Amino acid sequence: MNMVLGYGGVALLFLVIVVVLERHRRTETSFSEYATAGRSFGPWYSMMAFVNTWYPGTIFISFAGLAAASGVIGFYFVPYSLLAVVLMYFLARPVHVWGKEHDLRTQADFLGLRYDSTVVRVVAALIGIVASFPWLVLGMQSLTLVFTYLSFGRVEATDAVYIGIAVIVVRQIWTIRMGARGIVIGDMVQGIVAYLLGTLLVVGLLTWLLTNGHGFGAPGDAFFEIPGPGSATGGLYYLSLVMTGALGGWCWPDIFVRLFASRGPETIKQAAVRAAPLMFIFGTAVALMAIAASTLPGVAEAPDAVFFLTADAVGPFAVTLAGMCVVAATMGNVGANLQALGAQTANDVVGVLRRRRVESPRVGQLAVGALLLVSAVFAVSTAKTTSNLVELAMISYAGIVQLAPTLFLGVFWRRGNAVAATASMIAGFATAAVLQWQYPDAVPGLEGLSGGMVGLIVNAAVYVACALLVPTREEERRRVDELFAAVREPRRASVPVSTLPDLEPAA
């Protein structure tokens, strides 16, 4: 009976999402509509789309598990998330204005315009695809814990992993059909369940813990210390975690495209202001619940299961709600990843190879479908041997942040050029990949700096050096000045739709 309750809750959630999507389904007439949803969504949709993409289902699992195992350091995802919201506020105008005026569809498309370079565009696209793919696969596998607990002992983890993959794959049928519009609409439903209902559930679990002998007094003092100078991890370890998360967050293709789907710069700013309190309250509640539950039986042995172990102590209904929250959050993250990578593959790889802009939404649908098939096959084939894939995913996070100097300096500094962008991305990515593979936690002798942060330092140094030393043509300077002028006065801008010499509009 409990299993019927658990699996039935997920089925009900799935049914509600599908009904809402079908009621809002429409035929997209162009690839731009498919990739950006016509830049039509208001602040509430934009806010929830950002949150549902930013906070994946693993917030309830791995991030909560870190807090349950190590204490207050598990809060690190809260400050870096709030820093990302600040970046969202300042990125709003340049990204939306350039995107709308030049029909930009993806992050790589944006960088290609900024640097007037197909090479920059392709390198950025490939880094985004390579770095994101392991997370797409892990997202499909992450529901193993969910369907194990929702079965109340009837389904083993070795079988639950296939159920989780199947649920996520079937959900992506609507991602393929509807593109960005389906993602944003689905994010609203999924976000309400994951972060509004989820916050209420987490606060309820925390209240139960505090009134049943579990709290903040039992864990040792080490639980409430942030690593500083002289600590085992190094004084810069916490800074590495926060900065890599905040800067790297806006380098993921699925996060960045949220700006393109919004109605305008003010809409994005309003979404950022609304997202901040929700992310703070939700994230803080999850971390506090996990710390309070650290003394619960079984948590020390399996900290990643802290959310479900706590819910299980309360009862089957709480376990069902917990499962629905994780599934909802995971659906949003996997769907956004899949749609963004599919659009980037079609627009910035296929489009470049064909030497013309992609105009048909069918190309995007085929790219998303092909990516779904490949990732599903890979998820199934690695379902029982994921340790190396997890390491690869951590390397990929250190790799994706190497887009940060090219992106942020390109948006806020006119001096950068295509040579600086290309050389810095390659140098930073190579440095981070090697160091992160050799030293997954921190590079020895650098006070806890991660391989990703060392790569970022090399990256920024190469960018600035090339920007200052490599001559820029006067024509290119005028073009960049026009772009920046468009941000101040978008209606009076006169920059051509595409200045890339080897691309032409599709017939």
Residue-wise pLDDT for 183-196, tens only, equals 899 999 999 999 99
Q: Is residue 418 situated within a structural domain?
A: no
CA distance 409 to 196: 35
Tokens 């709308």 sit at which residue? 100
Contact 482, 494 (CB under 8 A): yes
pLDDT over 80 at 109, yes or no: yes
Q: Is residue 419 situated within a structural domain?
A: no
Q: How many domains does the chain have?
A: 1
User: Taking the CA atoms of the chain, what radius of gyration do you get in angstroms?
Assistant: 22
Q: Is residue 411 situated within a structural domain?
A: no
Per cent of the chain over pLDDT 90 is: 35
Q: Is residue 303 situated within a structural domain?
A: yes
Q: Is residue 17 situated within a structural domain?
A: yes
Query: Following DSSP, what letter does each residue of 30-57 receive, concatenated?
Result: SHHHHHHGGG-B-HHHHHHHHHHHHS-G
Would residue 470 be called left, alpha or beta, if left means φ above 0 and alpha means ψ between -120 and 50 degrees?
beta
> How much is the pLDDT for 284?
94
Query: Following DSSP, what letter does each residue of 329-387 receive, concatenated?
Result: HHHHHHHHHHHHHHHHHIIIIIHHHHTB----HHHHHHHHHHHHHHHHHHHHHTTT--H
Residue-wise pLDDT for 139-164, tens only, equals 777 788 889 889 888 888 788 888 88
Residue 356's DSSP bridge partners are: 504
pLDDT band at 503 (very low <50, low <70, confident <90, very high): very low
pTM: 0.86
Q: Is residue 231 situated within a structural domain?
A: yes
Residue-wise pLDDT for 471-500, tens only, equals 989 999 999 999 999 887 654 444 444 444
> What CATH number corresponds to the domain at position 355?
1.20.1730.10
Q: Is residue 208 situated within a structural domain?
A: yes
Q: Name the token pair of 219.
A: 């864990």
**Residue-range definition of the domain harbouring residue 255:** 2-385
Query: Following DSSP, what letter does each residue of 111-167 receive, concatenated?
Result: HHHHHT-HHHHHHHHHHHHHHHHHHHHHHHHTTHHHHHHHTTTSS-HHHHHHHHHHH
At residue 1, the 3 state secondary structure works out as coil
Q: Is residue 468 situated within a structural domain?
A: no
